[in-house]
Amino acid sequence: DAGVTQSPTHLIKTRGQQVTLRCSPKSGHDTVSWYQQALGQGPQFIFQYYEEEERQRGNFPDRFSGHQFPNYSSELNVNALLLGDSALYLCASSLKGTGYEQYFGPGTRLTVT
Amino acid sequence: AQSVTQPDIHITVSEGASLELRCNYSYGATPYLFWYVQSPGQGLQLLLKYFSGDTLVQGIKGFEAEFKRSQSSFNLRKPSVHWSDAAEYFCAVGGRSNDYKLSFGAGTTVTVRA
């Protein structure tokens, strides 16, 4: 049973560029959430996708956008990258109706130079 | 707004000794509560969760946590730590109804000495 997978593992980008991160949920899960974890901090909620729509959003600017595909996989897009966007980006999947029990992937480490 | 406080940034414990990690939450109603563990360079692994019912919950790897509504706390315990328990531990609170996000504390780093 495959868990949550994310790609790529590491990424280095330059300020002002755009980046796309990808996530495949755990088998049987239909909901995907994205979190940003800065160094030394706890994860911060970016948004959650269910039925291909953004269901809830945290306090992140519009530069952060996402998408969910019919197979439940998801992408996180960040435009006009800033140095402060350097972080570990975590994807979590869950099944609607199970009390928000979320399973996390290994993350994508984004470095903005 | 929901929030989580983990008062201890770093805890050092001897192998075989007991461990307790503190977590205090703020939420308007009874929340969903979680403990996750993160090893260096890894994602988060769910240790245990509390939704309702028995306030003492058992998790994986020999961990347990107790929900105390009067103290707004959800402390994590392990009777005897192993060297492999060295990691960062996060407490999280989740909403009910239409509030789906998890709010995490800043984490507690656990070091295990031989």
| DSSP one-letter string for B27-47 | -SSPPEEEEEEE-TT--EEEE
Cα-flanking dihedrals φ and ψ of residue B83, to 5°? Answer: -55, -30
Q: What is the mean pLDDT of each run of 10 residues along chain A (113 residues)?
A: 91 98 94 94 94 92 97 97 97 77 94 98
Share of chain B above pLDDT 70, in %: 96
A103 contacts B101? CB cut-off 8 A:
no
| DSSP one-letter string for A63-99 | TEEEEE-TTS-EEEEE-S--GGG-EEEEEEEE-TTST
pLDDT at B41 over 80: no
Mean pLDDT confidence for B75-84: 97
pLDDT at A13: 98
pLDDT at A109: 96
Q: Which residue of A has its CA nearest to B9?
A: A40
Cα-flanking dihedrals φ and ψ of residue A85, to 5°? Answer: -80, -5
Mean pLDDT confidence for B81-91: 97
Query: What does the alpha-carbon distance between residue A34 and residue A44 come to, in Å, rounded to a whole number?
Result: 9
pLDDT at A1: 64
Q: Are A66 and A55 in contact (CB under 8 A)?
A: no
pLDDT at B76: 98
The token pair that represents B9 in the structure block: 């940034």
CA distance B111 to chain A (A): 15
The token pair that represents A73 in the structure block: 């996989």
Share of chain B above pLDDT 90, in %: 77
What are the chain B neighbours of A92 within 8 Å (beta carbons)?
A: 44, 102
Mean pLDDT confidence for B88-110: 88
Distances (CA, A) of A105 to A52, A92, A93, B61, B81: 19, 6, 8, 19, 25
Question: CA nearest B101: which of A65, A66, A107, A50?
Answer: A50
What are the chain A neighbours of B103 within 8 Å (beta carbons)?
A: 45
pLDDT at A101: 83
pLDDT at A2: 76
pLDDT at B112 over 90: yes
Nearest to A101 among B43, B49, B95 (CB): B49
Nearest to B44 among A44, A45, A90 (CB): A90
Nearest to B90 among A42, A56, A100 (CB): A42
pLDDT at B81 over 60: yes
pLDDT tens, position by position, B24-35: 999 877 789 999
